[in-house]
């Protein structure tokens, strides 16, 4: 999730600027037969300019470095009101265009833009602002990634270093407002589950966060890696400034947040697991389901799909169990897989990383048969930073469109000796790295023919759906030849099917945290520690886990449909290229676009 922030005064100033830009766009509307098509890019451009300043952290991650000094305070009512006015203004303006007179690509842009604004406005009507952060994401975690010197925030010039200090100042203001919002939530009964708060406190008290010696801080990383181009005088000045910022701003702010959560918030945290346990929770979950799946599917529909998928995948797992000669039941097979030392050959983090590099090398020849377009953005595999590894999942962090920052596949390796082959290393790489997130996100960002709001858009149903779909390409790419690796791939697919059951179960069927953990352990070869982390993730971000399987099933459905319709004219590489070339979009918009493509193939 992309977090925002800004002072009320700056937000108001930005909105005034946007309104002036909009008047210019309005004055140009309707000029001649093609006036609308000419003006649509102007509307999108003015929206994106203001959006980038309202969300400067996202701008930085996208390679727009104009606002690297800003860390707005998104925790104020004034800021939320600014967003409300901003989004409603643009929704009104887009609706003035006659969609039927637009080009095919502009119709896609129109549909995505309108959908996105409607969803943003719907989200602002909910009281989710009373929960500013959780153990899975939020500014306290994001700040560490940006400020470590290894993330999206550039540290190449003295000005870059000064920009970061501006964001540090913004964080102290943000934290005070976040605590005030947490307190509002305590009064309203809109609070996090206790189990999640317990995980947040040690994150904020990390050994490289609450330091007595600023040189031991995570945020001292940029000082340890000064570029040669920075002068000795600037180095001396910036070193002193960073030590002071760490000691007088960052450490006290993280300590304040940790103390608040431990002493005030934890005693008020709720015992319930699902969002239905808070006032307005049912409405919140309805929004989350629609927002993450981009469909009108009900939680009950999704729950039943999950049960059916779990049953199907269990059947495949039974076949693997028979293939390797295991005589017991499936839960017993899971337990044996967890303990088999042959399946845990790694001694060091580097060995785990090397294994992922080997997977990349293995699939490379076959990738060329499946994709006509490949990204220019560089790609790297890295170990997740120690301060967040214990609570992190493997993840992909997008590169910059100009290629100056690579796309990064992060692997949390708390203990290399427990890293199991049947954890699905091959399918994990396909999903998080290549050809999953790295291909999809990089190709989208590199496409300069898309308006900015599409170039940097994210819809979990298509984005995560694509990544999960790529796991099904494993055999075609030369993977899954080992039954244990294939069992890992089935485990990953089962994991996404289980999510449909437990996410809807937690938030609409009064399933407890403990029942959800047990259901996961009964149906996949996951450690209890892993199951706990996953279930608590679904508790923290309701509905997000539904996007993967929902999107993958749709993409598989489309591939099967066009294979049958087109016969010998169906080309898998062309299908993949068409699917990815216009970026992510709501699933209904995607299907309309792909149906039009299929008609042209005939």
The token pair at 522 is 């009964």
Structural domain includes residue 425: yes
Out of 126, 152, 184, a domain closes at: 126
φ, ψ of residue 601 to 5 degrees: the values are -70, -30
C-alpha atoms less than 13 angstroms from C-alpha of 243 in its C-beta half-sphere? 11
Instruction: For residues 107 and 216, state if they share a domain.
Output: no
Same domain (yes/no): 327, 453:
yes
Provide the token pair at 234.
């600037």
Is the distance from CB of 270 to CB of 479 less than 8 angstroms? Answer: no
Going through 250-344 in order, the beta strands assigned E by DSSP cover: none
Q: Is the pLDDT of residue 530 over 90?
A: no
Looking at residue 455, what is its pLDDT? 95
Clarify whether residues 174 and 153 are in a common domain. yes
Q: Which band of pLDDT confidence, cut at 50, 70 and 90, is reported for residue 21?
A: very low
Q: Identify the bridge partners of residue 397 per DSSP, sorted by sequence position.
A: 408
pLDDT digits (tens, 9 = 90+) for 323-340: 999 999 999 999 999 889
My answer on whether 349 and 376 are in the same domain is yes
* Three-class SS state of 137: coil
Q: How many domains does the chain have?
A: 3
Angle at 168 between CA 166 and CA 171, to 5 degrees: 115
Domain that holds residue 87: 1-126
- Can you name the residues that pair with 270 across neighbouring β-strands? 193
173-177, 440-444, 447-451, range with the lowest pLDDT:
447-451
Does residue 390 have a pLDDT over 90?
no
In this structure, are 382 and 448 located in the same domain?
yes
* 574 is a domain residue: no
Q: Tell me the mean pLDDT in the region 303-316.
A: 98
Residue from 17, 88, 106 nearest 54 by CA: 17
**Domain match, 441 and 490 both:** yes
In a domain, 83, yes or no: yes
**Smallest Cα–Cα separation from 408: which of 421, 392, 391?**
392
Res 391: pLDDT:
67
What does the pLDDT read at residue 388?
78
- Asked whether residue 429 is domain-assigned, the answer is yes
Give the pLDDT band of residue 116 (cuts 50, 70, 90). very high
Out of 271, 306, 341, a domain closes at 271
CB neighbour list of residue 465: distance below 8 Å, 6 or more residues apart: 547, 548, 549, 550, 551, 552, 553, 554, 555, 587
Check: CB of residue 74 under 8 Å from CB of residue 88.
no
- Judged against a pLDDT cut of 70, whether residue 179 lies above it is answered with yes
Diameter over CA atoms, the chain: 76
Domain end position, chosen among 217, 242, 271: 271
**With contact defined as beta carbons under 8 Å apart, do 22 and 93 qualify?**
yes
Mean pLDDT of 303-308: 98
Distance separating alpha carbons of residues 362 and 354, to the nearest angstrom: 12
Identify whether residues 81 and 218 lie together within a single domain: no
Euclidean distance between CA atoms 70 and 29, whole angstroms: 33
Q: Confidence class of residue 36 from pLDDT cuts 50, 70 and 90?
A: low
Q: Which residue has the higher pLDDT, 36 or 247?
A: 247
Q: Are residues 110 and 194 in the same domain?
A: no
Check pLDDT > 70 for residue 32. no
Percentage of the chain modeled with pLDDT above 70 = 94
166 inside domain: yes
pLDDT class of 385 with cuts at 50, 70, 90: confident
Residue that the structure tokens 């003295």 belong to = 158
pLDDT score of 15: 45
How many angstroms separate the first and last alpha carbons of the chain? 40
Is residue 455 situated within a structural domain?
yes
Quick check: is 365 in a domain? Answer: yes
Q: Are residues 292 and 416 in the same domain?
A: yes
Indicate if 459 and 333 belong to the same structural domain. yes
Say if residue 503 is in the same domain as residue 437: yes
Q: State the average pLDDT for the chain.
A: 92
R_g of the chain, CA atoms, integer Å: 24
In a domain, 592, yes or no: no
Position 412 scores a pLDDT of 93
The 3 state secondary structure assigned to 441-470 is HHHHHHCCCCCHHHHCCCCHHHHHHHHHHH
Q: Kindly indicate the confidence band of residue 302, based on its pLDDT and cuts at 50, 70 and 90.
A: very high
370 and 469, same structural domain? Answer: yes
Task: Give the pLDDT band of residue 599 (cuts 50, 70, 90).
Answer: very high
| Main-chain dihedrals φ then ψ at residue 26, nearest 5 degrees | -60, -40
């Amino acid at each position: 999730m992309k977090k925002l922030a800004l002072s009320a005064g700056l937000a108001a100033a930005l909105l005034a600027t946007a309104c002036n830009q909009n008047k210019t766009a309005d004055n140009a509307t309707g000029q001649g037969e093609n006036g609308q098509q000419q003006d649509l890019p102007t509307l999108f451009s003015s929206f994106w300019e203001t959006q980038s300043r309202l969300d400067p952290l996202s701008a930085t991650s996208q390679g727009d470095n104009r606002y690297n000094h800003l860390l707005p305070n998104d925790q104020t009512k004034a800021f939320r009101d600014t967003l409300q006015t901003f989004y409603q203004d643009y929704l009104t303006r887009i609706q003035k265009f006659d969609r039927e007179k637009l080009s095919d690509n502009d119709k896609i842009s129109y549909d995505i833009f309108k959908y996105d604004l409607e969803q943003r406005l719907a989200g602002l009507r909910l009281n989710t602002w009373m929960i500013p952060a959780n153990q899975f994401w939020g500014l306290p975690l994001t700040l560490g990634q940006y400020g470590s010197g290894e993330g999206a925030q550039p540290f190449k010039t003295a000005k870059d270093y000064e920009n970061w200090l501006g964001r540090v100042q913004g964080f102290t203001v943000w934290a005070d407002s976040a605590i005030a919002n947490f307190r509002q939530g305590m009064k309203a009964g809109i609070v996090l589950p206790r189990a999640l708060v317990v995980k947040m406190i040690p994150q904020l008290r990390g050994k490289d966060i609450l330091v007595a010696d600023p040189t031991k801080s995570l945020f001292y990383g940029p000082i340890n890696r000064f570029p040669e181009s920075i002068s000795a005088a600037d180095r001396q000045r910036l070193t002193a400034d960073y030590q002071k910022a760490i000691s007088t701003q960052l450490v006290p702010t993280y300590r304040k947040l940790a103390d608040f959560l431990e002493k005030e918030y934890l005693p008020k945290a709720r015992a319930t697991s699902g969002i239905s346990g808070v006032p307005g929770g049912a409405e919140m979950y309805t929004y989350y389901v629609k927002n993450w799946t981009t469909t009108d599917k009900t939680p009950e529909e999704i729950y039943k799909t999950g049960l059916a998928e779990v049953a199907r995948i269990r059947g495949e797992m039974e076949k693997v169990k028979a293939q390797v000669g295991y005589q017991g039941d499936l839960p017993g097979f899971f337990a044996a897989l967890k303990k088999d030392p042959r399946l845990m050959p790694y001694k060091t983090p580097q060995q785990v990383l090397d294994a992922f590099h080997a997977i990349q090398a293995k699939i490379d020849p076959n990738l060329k048969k499946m994709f006509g377009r490949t990204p220019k953005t560089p790609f790297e595999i890295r170990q997740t930073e120690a301060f967040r590894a214990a609570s992190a999942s493997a993840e992909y962090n997008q590169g910059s469109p100009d290629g100056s920052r690579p796309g990064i596949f992060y692997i949390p390796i708390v203990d290399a000796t427990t890293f199991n082959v049947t954890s699905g290393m091959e399918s994990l790489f396909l999903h998080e790295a290549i050809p999953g997130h790295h291909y999809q996100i990089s190709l989208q960002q590199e496409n300069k023919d898309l308006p900015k709001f599409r170039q940097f858009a994210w819809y979990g149903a298509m984005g995560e759906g694509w990544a999960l779909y790529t796991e099904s390409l494993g055999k075609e790419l030369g993977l899954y030849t080992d039954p244990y690796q294939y069992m890992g791939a089935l485990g990953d697919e089962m994991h996404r099917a289980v999510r449909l059951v437990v996410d809807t179960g937690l938030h609409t069927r009064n399933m407890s945290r403990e029942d959800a953990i047990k259901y996961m352990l009964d149906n996949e070869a996951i450690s209890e520690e892993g199951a706990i982390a996953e279930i608590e993730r679904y508790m923290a971000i309701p509905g997000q886990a539904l996007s993967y399987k929902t999107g993958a099933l749709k993409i598989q459905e489309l591939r099967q449909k066009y294979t049958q319709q087109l016969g010998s004219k169906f080309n898998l590489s062309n299908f993949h290229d068409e699917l990815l070339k216009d970026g992510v979009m709501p699933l209904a918009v995607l299907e309309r676009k792909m149906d039009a493509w299929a008609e042209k193939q005939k």
